[in-house]
Amino acid sequence: MPRDNPRHPRFPIPSGSELRARGWRQEALLRLMENVLAVGEDPENLVVYAALGKAARNWASHAAIRKALLAMDEDQTLIIQSGKPVGLLRTSSEAPLVIMANCNIVGQWARRSARRLRAAIFGTPQRRGRCRIH
């Protein structure tokens, strides 16, 4: 049962022993996503830290990630690219539940003319937790 969140009342803090997903590994990742919003900087806009870091690309992507986590089996892997779910693959129960790729260099920065600017394009170190659930 979720607990009330005095800081962000619309975003309760996930807790309890109720299983909503098809397994505890999926449930743990769902709760991780819910918790990051519950303690986030501006959860109404999906911003969780530093005025830029978002829990998902937009609310439609958030809903799609949540739906996939609730429905997926232990032998499936959810692929997320830049905050948007792009695939749900049948893999194995030993494979990761979620694989994410963020901060990809795309668009104008991938062109040769942009590289001539000798601009450094890199992902900055973030305080990101790595969740490994066995």
Q: What pLDDT score was predicted for residue 23?
A: 94
Amino acid at 1: M
Q: What pLDDT score was predicted for residue 125?
A: 43
Residue-wise pLDDT for 71-125, tens only, equals 999 999 999 988 899 999 999 999 999 988 876 555 555 555 554 444 444 444 4
Write out 71-119 in H/E/C secondary structure: HCCCCEEEEEECCEEEEEEECCCCCCCEEEECCCCCHHHHCHHHHCCCC
- Please give the span between the terminal C-alpha atoms of the chain, in angstroms, as a whole number: 23
Place of tokens 């659930």: 133
Q: Which helix (H) or strand (E) holds 49?
A: strand 47-49
- Extents of the domains making up the chain: 24-115
Query: Nearest 5°: phi and psi at 39?
Result: -105, 5
DSSP per residue, 9-37: TTSPBP-SS---SSSHHHHHHHHHHHHHH
Question: Which token pair is 34?
Answer: 């819910």
Q: Which residue has the higher pLDDT, 5 or 72?
A: 72
Query: Nearest 5°: phi and psi at 22?
Result: -80, -5
Per DSSP, what are the bridge partners of residue 54? 47
39-62 average pLDDT score = 88
